Amino acid sequence: MDKVSRIFLNSIPILIMIGLVPIINNDYFLALIFSLIIIISFRIKKESHEGLIFVSGFFLMIFFEFIFISTQVEVFYRNSLFGIMPVWLPILWAYGFVAISRAVKILDK
């Protein structure tokens, strides 16, 4: 399988999660669905240190999104996390960190 196909396959969970955002209006239910997608994805394939990458991405993106929002670079109408952003957003970003890590590994081979 070529590199582009492998990177695309690793991006499918993110594409599904993004596709669910306009469909599911309850942020907490959406966060639960995202968590289930990520758990299933990790059961299918999990490489070393991806748990650390995920947790780092989660907390880093809460921090950076907070900075963007406080400088009014971004505005969210869905603000279920700390009253400033959707609760599911850091979960999506955290898995994005994992997908980017996988893409870099694929490109390095």
Q: Which domain holds residue 57?
A: 3-108
Number of domains in the chain: 1
- End-to-end Cα distance, the chain: 13
Predicted confidence (pLDDT) per residue in 48-93, tens digit: 899 999 999 999 999 999 998 889 888 888 888 888 889 999 999 9
Structure pTM?
0.88
Predicted confidence (pLDDT) per residue in 37-59, tens digit: 999 999 998 888 999 999 999 99
Contacts of 61 (CB under 8 A, 6+ apart): 89, 90, 93, 94, 97
Widest pairwise Cα distance in the chain: 44
Three-class DSSP labels, 78-91: CCCECCCECCCHHH
